[in-house]
Chain A
Amino acid sequence: MRLRAMPMLTLALLLGPVLAGLVGTLAPAFGILPVIGRVEPGVDAFRALLAWPGLPGAVWLSMVTGLGATVISLVIVMLLVACWSGTRSFAAFRRALSPLLSVPHAAAAFGLAFLVAPSGLVVRLLSPWATGWTQPPDLLIVQDPAGLSLMAGLVVKEVPFLLLMTLAALGQADAVRAETVARSLGHDRPAAWLKAVFPRVYAQIRLPVLVVLAFSMTVVDVALILGPNTPPTLAVQVVRWMNAPDLAMRLQAAAAATLQLALVVAALGLWCLGERVVAWLGRAWIWSGARRAGGAITAALSLALAGSAALTVLAGLGVLAIWSFAGFWRFPSPWPDAMTLGNWVRHWPGVAEALGTTIGISALSTFLALVLAIGCLEAEHRHALRLRARGQWLLYLPLLAPQVAFLPGVQTWMLMLGVKGGVGAVVAAHVIFVFPYVFLSLGDPFRAWDARQATIAHSLGAGPDRVLWAVRLPMLLAPLLTAAAVGFAVSVGQYLPTLLIGGGRVQTVTTEAVALAAGGDRRAIAVWAIVQTGLALLPFALAVGLPRLVWCNRRGLLHG
C-alpha cells in the first residue's frame, strides 16, 4: 500500500463509521427500520418520545450538567494556570497529571460516590462528633436529581484533561514573555495572564474544550454511577431503550439519540455565542485599564479548587482500595472493623476473565491506532503534507460526535447486515476513539523531531524505510510508549462502544464495573474499580520506565 494514501485511508476508517452511524440513527428515528419491517417514513417515534414524562427533566439535565461541568472545569484550569504556572505548586500538578488523566472516568466516579455518599468516608469522618449522626443520613447526595454529583464527577476528570491541553498550548503562545510584559505594565498575575495570554491559549484549546462539552452532555457510564435515575439523563435513557428486548423500542431510542445530537449541536452553538460575549467583555475590561483580578485571593481560590479536584480523585481511589479489602465496616467508623482478602478471592475468577478480554481488546486497538498514526505522520513527513485546520476538525469529529448519537446507528447497521457483535467489532470501534488521542499525543514529538537527522541518514545512503525504523522510531521510543499508554487507557475506559458494538456479549472490566453501579455491593464495586484503574495506570508506569531501561546507556535520549 502507498504511504501517501494513509491519511485518507485513516480518515475513511474513522469517519466512515461515524457518518454511517449517524445515518443509521436518523433513519429509524424517522420511522425506517427494515429489520422489523418498518419502511414508511414518519414521526411516530418523536411523538412517543414527547409523550415520555421524563423528557423535560432529561433534556434539562443534559444541558445543565454538560455546560456546567465544562464552564467550571475551564475556569478552574484557566485560573490555576494564570496564577500558578512556573511555580513549585504548579510543578506538583504537572507530575500528578498523567496518573490523574489515566484514571478511568468510571473509577473516578465510583471513588467520588464512595467519598460523598451518606455513608461515605466524608460523613464517617465527621460523625458522630460534628453531625450527631449514628445512622447514615437519609439524603440523596449521590445521584441527586439536580445532577450536582454528576457534574462534580465530570469536573474532577476534565480538569486534568484541560490542564494537559493548556500546557501543550502554553509553549506555542509565548506565554512567559507576554505575561512579563503585561505585569511590567502594572497588572497583577491573573490579570496579566488573562489579558495577554488567555486569548492565544484559548484559541489553541478550543477544540478540546468543545470535546469536553459534547462528552459531558452525553456521557453514559459516569451518569449511570452519579447521575439521577428518575429521570436519568437523556443519554442513559437512549441506552435503556436500545437494550429493551422489544426491537420496536429502537425507534424511540433513535429519536432520543437524534434529539441528543440536536442538543449537542445547540450547546456547541450556545458555547460559540458565549465565546463572543466573553471576548466582548474581555476587550472592554482590557480597554478600561483595570489592572487587578483579585491577585492573591484568586490565586488561593484557584489552587484550592484545582487541589480539591485532584485530591478527590486520589482520595476516591484510596477509599475504593480500602473497601476492596474491607470486611465488616460499621457506620460511622472511619476504618473497617476487619480487613480481608475475601472480596478479592470471591471476585477474582470473574475479574481474571474480563481482564484477559480487556487487555486483548485494548492492546490490539492501541496497536492498530499506533500503526495508523505512524503511517499518517510519516506520510506527512515524506510527502510534505500539512494538516490544515480542516483536518484538525476531522480528527476531532469522532470525539465531538456524541457516542450515544452514532453508536446506536452502527448497531442498527450491524443488525441489518447480519454482523454479529464480538471482540473484533469492539476492537474496530475502540480504534475510532483511541486513534485521535494517540495521534494528538504522538504528533507533536514526531513533528518536532530534527529533520536534519533524516537528511544525515539519507546522505549516508539509508532509504526512507531504514530512516524510519533505524533512526526515527528508536529515537522517539519514549513518546511512542506514552502515546501507546494514552491509547491503552482510553480503550480500557470505553463503556458504550463495548456495550453496544459488543452486543452485550463482550465483558471488559469497564462494562462489568459499571454494571455493578445499579446494585449496592460496595466491595464488588471497589474490587472492579481498582482493577480498572490499575489496568489504565500500568502502561503509564511502563511508558516512563521502559525508555530508562532500554536507553540506560544513552544520555542523549534520557533528558529529551
Chain B
Amino acid sequence: MDEPGLILQDLRVTLSGKPMLRLSAHVAPGQVVSVMGPSGAGKSTLLGAVMGTLSPPFAVSGRILLDGRDLAALPVEARQIGILFQDPLLFPHLSVGSNLAFGLPRALRGAARRAAVEKALADVGLNGFASRDPATLSGGQKLRVALMRTLLAAPCALLLDEPFSSLDADRRAQIRSLVFERARAAGLPVLMVTHDPADAQAAGGLVIKLD
C-alpha cells in the first residue's frame, strides 16, 4: 500500500461526539484537490485533522496516509506537510532570510544554507530581500516568501487555507498560478480549501463540496 500522494480514507471528525465531517479523497502528487463549502461546513476542521492540530474534544477516526505513511500517531512537526494560511504569517521577529532558513533541513550548513535562501528569493523575484524586515513587504511579496519558506522545508504535501483571499483581484491570479506551478514542479499533492469558485477553477483538479 505504498501509493504516493495524500489519501484520506473514510476520515471522520467528531466534536464531543457530534459528527463534524466525513470525507474520503485521494490527492495524487502534482495534483490539486479543492474543497469548497459555506463557512461552518468543516473546512478548517479538515485541515486541522490533516495537519494534526486538533485536540480534544475533537476526535479523528479513519486513516490519513501520506506516501504510504499513516499520519495518525505523528505530531504536526513530523508529518512533513506544509501549509499556507490566508495571512502569510511570516515570523515578525525574524528577517526575511531567517524566515526562509527556519525550515531548511539542518544538513545544509554555512554557505550552502545562505545559497539556498538566496536562490529561493531569486526564484520568486525577490533578489536581495534576505535582510529585510518582513513587515516592510507588500502583501504579494509576503505571500511569495511564505510559499518559499514552506517549500524550502521539503514537505511531502501542501495544504492551502484560502491563501489568496487577502489579495486584490489582479495580484490574485498571478500568485495563484505561481503557487500551483511551484507545487506541481515539486510533485506535491495539494489540498486547497476555498470559498472562491475561481480558485477551484484555476486549480483544475477535483472539487469536493462540503455541506
Contact check: which of A457, A464, A554 meets B102 at CB < 8 Å? A457
Q: Give bound CA distance, A464 to B105, whole Å.
A: 17
CB distance from A554 to the nearest CB of B (A): 5
Give A346 to B184 CA distance when docked, in angstroms.
78
Does B116 have its Cβ within 8 Å of any Cβ on chain A?
no
Residue of A nearest to B57 (CB): A384
Residues of B within 8 A of A240 (CB): none
Decide yes or no whether A475 CB sits under 8 A from chain B. Answer: yes
- Chain B interface, number of residues (Cβ within 8 angstroms): 30
Cβ–Cβ contact B136 & A458, under 8 A: no
The distance in angstroms between the C-alpha atoms of A290 and B136, with both chains bound, is 53
Q: Is B89 on the interface with A (CB-CB < 8 A)?
A: yes
Interface of B is mostly: loop
A474 close to B (CB within 8 Å):
yes
Which of B16-24, B73-81, B187-195 lines the interface with chain A?
A: B73-81
Chain A residues with Cβ under 8 A from B103's Cβ?
Answer: 459-462
Let me know if B153 and A459 touch, CB within 8 A.
yes
In the complex the two chains form, is A384's CB within 8 Å of B56's CB? yes
Within 8 A of B (CB), among A505-560: 551, 553-557, 560
Structural contact, B93 and A462, CB atoms closer than 8 A: no
Q: Find out whether the CB atom of B102 lies under 8 angstroms from the CB atom of A556.
A: no
Give which listed residue, B85, B93, B153, contacts A452 with CB less than 8 A.
Answer: B85
Q: Is A453 an interface residue (CB 8 A)?
A: yes
Q: Give Cα A396–Cα B91 distance, bound, in whole angstroms.
A: 35
Q: Give chain A residues whose Cβ lies under 8 Å from the Cβ of B134.
A: 556
Distance in angstroms between the alpha carbons of A461 and B80 in the assembled complex: 7
On whether the beta carbons of A459 and B91 are closer than 8 Å, the reply is no
A471 closest partner in B (C-beta): B91
Q: Give min CB distance, A507 to chain B, whole Å.
A: 41
Q: Which of A456, A463, A474, A553 contacts B85 (CB 8 A)?
A: A456
Answer whether residue A340 sits at the interface, using C-beta atoms and an 8 A cutoff.
Answer: no
Name the residue of chain A whose CB is nearest to the CB of B102: A460
Would A557 and B89 count as touching, CB distance under 8 A?
Answer: no
Task: For the A-B complex with A384-B56, A464-B75, A477-B93 known, give 6 more contacts whose Cβ atoms are closer than 8 Å.
Answer: A383-B55, A455-B83, A464-B77, A474-B93, A555-B133, A557-B92
Q: State the B residues within 8 Å of A (CB).
A: 51, 53, 55-56, 75-77, 79-83, 85, 87, 89-93, 102-103, 105, 133-136, 149-150, 153, 155
Nearest 3 A/B pairs, CB to CB = A460-B103, A556-B92, A556-B135
Could you pull out 12 A-B pairs where Cβ atoms are within 8 angstroms? A450-B89, A455-B83, A458-B77, A459-B76, A459-B82, A460-B77, A461-B153, A553-B133, A555-B136, A556-B134, A557-B92, A557-B93
